[in-house]
Every structure is written in C-alpha cells, then in structure tokens.
Amino acid sequence: MELAITMSDRETQLIQACLREERWAQKELYESSYGKMLGVCMRYSTCQEDARDILNEAFVKVFRYLSRYQIGTSLDAWIRRIMINTAIDFYRKEMRHRHEDIELVYNNPSENTDLMSSYSVKEILAVIQKLPPSYRAVFNLYAIEGYAHKEIADILNITESTSRSNLVKARSKLKEMLSHLYPQKSQSTNYEE
C-alpha cells in the first residue's frame, strides 16, 4: 500500500514539474514512456521513421495538454490515447494524398482465426506495416484497440460498411502476405485446417 502512495506522489511530482516546463521531468516522462508508445505508433505506421514522427508529434501534444490530465487516472492510458489519436491524424493526412477504391466486401466466416497464432509479434507487425493505410488503421482500431465498427467509422470519417470491408480486406491481405513471407508456417497452418 505504501508503494502505491509513493508511486502516485512521484507521478504527481513529475507531472507538476512537467507543467512548470522543467526539462529533466519532460525527459523522464518521455524516456519512461518511449518504448511502449513507440510500439503503439509502429502499428499505425508503415515504417519506424513514421512511427517516430508520430510519437514525437504526440509527445508535443502530451506536454501541451498535460494540464488537462486528471491526476489519479492512468497516465499511461492518457498518453496512449494521444498516441492513437495522433496516429489517426497522421493516417488522415496520408489519405488526403492517396485515393483508393473501396469496394464492399462481406465478412468471410470461413477465415482461419488460428492463422496469426503461429507467427511472432515481430513478423505480424512487419506485415501490418505493409498494409495500405486505410486497412491498417481499421485493423489496428478493431483487432488491437477493440473499437466497434461504428466507433471506427466516426473516428475515421467513413461508413460502418467501409470499416467492415477494410477489416476483411486487411485480414485477407495479412493472411496472403504472411503465407508469402513465411511459407513454411502457412503450410503447417493449412495442414491443421
């Protein structure tokens, strides 16, 4: 119990120092969150360079809006939300420069849900980063963040059917790319079907 109080006091002191724009505190907050938050940004970007850009832009927002953070709630969750929103903004900017045809595709119930379990996180992340931005954003928001299609539609300013379509296409592309990149694993997975 004493440890929890000490951690809360430490976090409160760190936040107050960040609000006073003390560089040591900003550096400590940045460095303590860097690894976890870079992982979040990597899921939404095509490369590590873009992920770092998103992360740094998001941290500018973290420090700008830190006064809005409610002490006592999860600081990591608050920072994570800013990372995700910044990644979505990045996606929107990227989409302004790209136009893709989106055709309606219905959910395929025969999809093998065990396919992903035979691959490492690193292998899956590498393939997710190769997805087109619209598929990647929907896949991350639905499969990883747990949003419903209605919420995704609102966040990305698309229709629910487009969200569903992009999820189906993302899963299909992931399966296809994984089987091409790692044929030995896809053969053992197909054998189990």
**Domain parsing of the chain, residue ranges:** 2-96, 115-192
Residues 158, 164, 166, CA angle at the centre, nearest 5°? 75
Query: Quick one: CATH architecture of 2-96?
Result: Orthogonal Bundle (1.10)
Tens-digit pLDDT string for the chain (193 aa): 444 444 568 888 999 999 999 999 999 999 999 999 999 999 888 888 889 999 999 999 999 999 999 888 899 999 999 999 999 888 877 765 444 433 333 333 334 444 556 677 777 788 888 888 889 999 989 988 888 999 999 888 899 999 999 999 998 888 888 888 766 655 544 434 3
Q: What is this structure's pTM?
A: 0.60
The torsion of the CA quartet 125, 113, 173, 131, rounded to 10 degrees, works out to -30
Q: Does domain 115-192 have CATH number 3.40.50.20?
A: no
Question: How many CB atoms within 10 Å of residue 88?
Answer: 19
Per the listing, tokens 């996606």 go with 91
